[in-house]
Structure 1
Amino acid sequence: LEMPDLIEVQKKSYKWFLEEGLREVFREISPIESFTGNLALEFVDYRLENNPKYSVEECKDRDTTYAVPMKVKVRLTNRETGEIKESEVFMGDFPLMTEKGTFIINGAERVIVSQLVRSPGVYYEQQFDKFGKKLISATVIPNRGAWLEYEEDSNDIVYVRIDRTRKVPVTVLLRALGYSTDIQILDLLGEEEKLKATLDKDTTKSEEEALIEIYKRLRPGEPPTVESAKSLLYALFFDAKRYDLAKVGRYKFNKKLALKTRIVNLKSAKKIVNPVTGEILVEEGEKISKEKAEEIQNCGINVVEVLVEGKVVRVIGNNTVDINKYPMPYDVSNLNIKEAVNLSILKEILDNFSDEEAVINEIKNRMDELVPKNITKDDIIATISYQLNLTHGIGSIDDIDHLGNRRLRSVGELLQNQFRIGLARLERVVKERMTIQDV
């Protein structure tokens, strides 16, 4: 039996870090702009010198680090004068991985151990209170950013914790997202008993009040204003620099919250019609097959009402479609998009552009919005909808200890996270220097 390459994972991960991981971090941080917006610093490219100063053995003998110099090409733009300066700067010595998958740090051979962590995504759990009543909770875990935790109490009130703070009724978060009245919330998620009980508990009655309430919980002691609350909520969840689900998190989100996986084998409460062609997809009372469920989602339907034990239950997806199956005016198969895309952004592109080339270019340019790394408003609504649906037996509970819900954080990703922290510090220093120069 041939011996497998046991350090292949480490080597591949480090190679990914050198070729893609570093570029990702530079792209995230670039450009760094001064507070006035007059100066902008871009990281154009980077390169590592080919030959380390000492070999692996020499580094061990001399108690030095096995590394090569890293050079970064930067471009400084003065927007007032239009002046552009470009130069290559030395950014430090970059530790190299040896053939054995190790690093030589100050003469000592070190290895970076992979971590087994909870995979980013949304997880549902159930517990029982002292009377044996089933309580459902949900946790939204990002790769980087603030957690969202939903929970219920024995009185059927659904709460949310934002970034591990004190809990607030979930309707406060919905109001803060723009669904300000009780009627709008009930129209959105359906006439659910838990929702009505939560609305009775909720003391806020408008979007402004909800934003102030959330701000007070997240920033106690600071004077709350509607504007600062809005910018805080945006920074926490909708800013891709601060919130990152990573590819795996986005995949797991779409898999869990997609409409097509949640309505299979359920009876439709209403006739479902294709909004594009007008074709009847499912008759009232008909069982929805797997094929039909996929067709319903990919023609742009995001809300379906189903019958469960004679009750009408509303199921809301996270507003995504498979672009290759969506009725597009042009063929986009050569773009090779494998992930589900955000329908509202796709519709916006199709509404604004009519020319095939322009549509395809805009899709390429807006891939970060079509497949967002951050959480979206649709994701939050679908998460709450899923929790309410679980009361009616629609959906499934997750086992957090299952290895399918865990992933390896390998050397490349761990180094990338450290590099990101370093560059975030650099960004602060550069901004301060720019401000002094502006003055």
Structure 2
Amino acid sequence: MKRVRKSFAKTRQIVEPPHLIAMQRHSYERFLQRDTDPDARENFGLQAIFKNIFPLTDFNGLCSLEFVRYAFGQAKYTVEECIERGMTYDVPVKITVRLITFDVDEETGVQSVRDIKEQEVFLGSLPLMTKDGVFVVNGTERVIVNQLQRSPGLFYTHDNGKSHASGKRLYSARIIPVRGSWLDFEFDIKDILYVRIDRRRKLPVTVLLKALGYTEEELLREFYRADTVDVVKGKFFLRFNPDTFVGIRLPEDLINPEDGKVLGKKGRKVSKALAKRIVQAGIEKVQVQSEDVLERVLVADIVSPKTGELVARGNERLSEEVLAAVEEAGITSFDLLFINAVTVSDSFSKTLDKDLIRLGEKEREEIKQQLQNDGLAGIELDEALAEEIRKRICSRAQIEIYRRLRPSSPPTPEVAQAFFDKLFFDPYTYDLSEVGRYKINAKLGLDTSIDHRTLTKEDIVQGVKHLVRIKDALKDGDDIDHLGNRRVRTVGELVENQYRMGLVRMERAIKERMTLQEIETLMPHDLVNPKPVTSAIKEFFGTSQLSQFMDQTNPLSEVTHKRRLTWL
């Protein structure tokens, strides 16, 4: 007889009760994509791992092992039989790989395909999740507990004045990927901004930015607003900007060009109201005294148009001697940084001054002479000189980073560049994940594609700029303990990480076998040994803290165990 269920609720039920373990099941199903056609699988879970690891090429470039597809076999026993026999409820994984061997022309170095062999290879077994959301491992029911961890992305914090006796806030930022090197940016008590890669020895952040290909002038223009000073017959005219002029005394009467009336008398300080009237009058340049430009910081190198000699360096303070040399050289205009020490500090300028990665005057002259010998002159010479200086500074910055991270290994420019690119810009070694990319885009207002899961130059530069702005404005940082800055790693992602580790170990073994064995007689199954993958999965399900015996006290304790979060 069918049991009748009556409801005495006053309102009708509209939404069905949720499936309480659906998240676990969906996560693992998406990781396996078992019921999806092999050629229609999305780039996620197992498919993403294989696509990321393969193709594998030997050290000589004579053969390559490519991934084609993967498939699952059938489970040998049912769940009940596995529990009775003390077995693991799993399915065999088979991957189809293609081994391509090449011939290389000794004279031209051109590769040509010699042979292609495609074969299905056994790659161990993967435990299956039952309909109840558990795994049967060696006859016992196990639950993989969800892990709560810090979310990938970009985060800003400060020490709340606890690090130094003065009580001054020291600001910092951190870029956290799912896989790859951490980037830490931090201010010291002297307002110098440093960077740490993987928590190693710190170095000025400008070294990292130069390694990305930026010059000192580009960095100063990126981090500061520039004010242009025009020199006319020994007088200095500053292109008008209200922020710059407030507080400056007028050296001459300021006349409105429209009606000839005096806007401001000689010696009067420019107030916000006067600055507004100057803007309304359409005045673009205003005369200033030499005292108003002295001790301000130059944006770019100043070169004498007559002799080609360097008069002053960029990021150098404008002294009376330099100002006299500028007038004597006949220079008609130069740019100064806008720093008011209130809303805009000189911290980045001081950091750039601390950085010693730069070319000396003698080396610049040698480069210039070499380019002139190559027949370059005029604008072409200037452009080629700037580009060569940029390349050399970039190379030296990359070598400096390499030395900090690999102190025992002597670097060459090529090795240092390859190492640097691999740190943050190689999808094989660095992964922000979609969550990390979304958070960085949201924090910095970027529109980088969500599928771009490595760092970009813009991420790093805008991230540092945002840190400087937060520090100058004395804003509060992010709350690390807020759950908005945490994320849950479900069973699919946890198993994916273990599987990737096993494949990376297997990758090394495959490359060694490619080199040692005869290429002509090689078959794909000779190269692929599933043991590293199998052992990684067995270790995770058997001994990991996240793999726990299911609480079977009662049905409610089972459900709570499967939905539990852990900080382990």
- Shift of the alpha carbon at 1:183? 2.6
- Displacement after TM superposition at 1:32 (Å): 1.0
Give the corresponding residue for 1:111.
143
Does structure 1 retain, via aligned residues, the 8 Å contact 2:395–2:417? no
How far off is 1:165 after superposition? 0.4
- Cα distance in 2, alignment partners of residues 120 and 71 from structure 1: 32
1:36 to 42, 56, 60: 60
- Is 1:76 the counterpart of 2:111? The answer is no
Q: Give 1:287-302 correspondences, 5 Å limit.
A: none
Cα gap change, 1:395 to 1:36, in 2 (>3 Å): farther
- Equivalent in the alignment of 1:254: 441
State the match for 2:223 in structure 1.
189
The one-character-per-residue Cα deviations of 1:347-368 (angstroms, maximum 9, x if unpaired) are xxxxxxxxxxxxxxxxxxxxxx
* Corresponding residue of 1:52: 75
Q: CA deviation at 1:239?
A: 0.4
For residues 85-115 of structure 1, give each alpha carbon's deviation from its aligned partner in whole angstroms, at most 9, with x where no partner exists: 1111111122111111111111121111110
* CA offsets 1:270-298 (integer angstroms, 9 cap, x no match): xxxxxxxxxxxxxxxxxxxxxxxxxxxxx
Counterpart for residue 123 of structure 1? 155
Aligned to 1:136, which of 171, 183, 194? 171
Cα distance in 1 for partners of 2:168, 2:484 equals 28
Amino acid at match of 1:193: D
User: Offset of 1:188 from its aligned partner?
Assistant: 2.6
1:92 and 2:124 equivalent?
yes
* Amino acid in structure 1 at the alignment position of 2:481: D
The gaps in structure 2 that reach 5 residues or longer are 1-12, 34-43, 104-112, 225-336, 338-344, 359-392, 520-568
Residues 236 and 243, structure 1, Cα contact 8 Å, conserved in 2 = yes
Identity %: 50
Corresponding residue for residue 27 of structure 1: 51
Does residue 236 (structure 1) correspond to residue 260 (structure 2)? The answer is: no
Other-structure match for 2:191: 156
Q: Deviations over 1:242-294 (max 9, x none)?
A: 00000111000100011xxxxxxxxxxxxxxxxxxxxxxxxxxxxxxxxxxxx
Q: Which has the higher contact order (CA 8 A, sep 6+)?
A: 2
CA distance in 2, matches of 1:396, 1:429: 50
Shift in CA distance, 40/395, structure 1 to aligned 2, threshold 3 Å: farther
Structure 1 residues 251 and 196: alpha-carbon distance in aligned structure 2, compared to 1, 3 A threshold: same
Flag as ranges the 4+ runs of structure 1 deviating above 3 A: 1-4
Query: Contact 2:157–2:476 at 8 Å: present in 1 too?
Result: no
Q: After alignment, is 195-204 or 16-25 more displaced?
A: 195-204
Task: Name the SS of the counterpart of 1:140 in structure 2.
Answer: strand
Q: 1:33 to 1:394 in 2, by over 3 A?
A: farther
Structural mapping, 1:324-343, within 5 Å: 340-341=448-449
Please, which of 18, 26, 41 is the counterpart of residue 12 of structure 1?
26
* 1:383-439 deviation per Cα after TM superposition (whole angstroms, max 9, x unaligned): 111111113439762111111111110000001111111111111111111112367
Q: How does 1:374-389 map to 2 (within 5 A)?
A: 374-389=454-469
Cα distance in 2 for partners of 1:87, 1:200 equals 60
**1:146-182 deviation per Cα after TM superposition (whole angstroms, max 9, x unaligned):** 00000001101000001110110111111111124x3
Code of the residue aligned with 1:43 in structure 2: it is F
Aligned to 1:409: 489
| Residues 1:194 and 1:43: Cα distance change in structure 2 (over 3 Å) | same
**Equivalences, count:** 330
TM-score, length basis structure 2? 0.56
Which residue of structure 1 aligns with residue 354 of structure 2?
201
Alpha carbons of 1:154 and 1:36: their partners in 2 closer, same or farther (altered >3 Å)? same
Name the counterpart of 1:165. 200
Distance 1:99 1:113, change over 3 A: same
Aligned twin of 1:346: none
Mapped contact 1:216–1:224 kept (Cα < 8 A): yes
d(CA) in 2 for partners of 1:212, 1:415: 37
Post-superposition offset of 1:200: 2.3
- Against the structure 1 CA distance between its residues 395 and 142, is the aligned structure 2 distance closer, same or farther, given a 3 Å change threshold? farther
Match of 2:123, as an amino acid? Answer: M
Larger displacement relative to structure 2 (388-397 or 236-245): 388-397
RMSD between aligned alpha carbons? 1.9
* Shift in Å, 1:5: 1.9
Unaligned runs of 5+ in 1: 259-317, 321-339, 342-369
Normalising by structure 1, we get a TM-score of 0.72
Give me the whole-angstrom Cα distance separating, in 2, the residues matched to 1:385 and 1:47.
Answer: 48
Counterpart contact for 2:57–2:65, Cα < 8 Å: yes
Q: Which amino acid aligns with 1:387?
A: L
Q: Distance in 1 between matches of 2:436 and 2:188?
A: 28
Q: Rg larger in 1 or in 2?
A: 2
CA contact (8 A) 2:154 2:173 kept: yes
Which of these residues, 493, 505, 510, is aligned with residue 430 of structure 1?
Answer: 510
Question: Which amino acid counterpart does residue 494 of structure 2 have in structure 1?
Answer: L
Q: Alpha-carbon deviation of 1:184?
A: 3.1
Q: Distance in 2 between matches of 1:371 and 1:58?
A: 43
Distance 2:120 2:133 in 1: 30
CA contact (8 A) 1:386 1:395 kept: no
8 Å Cα contact 2:399/2:413 also seen in 1: yes
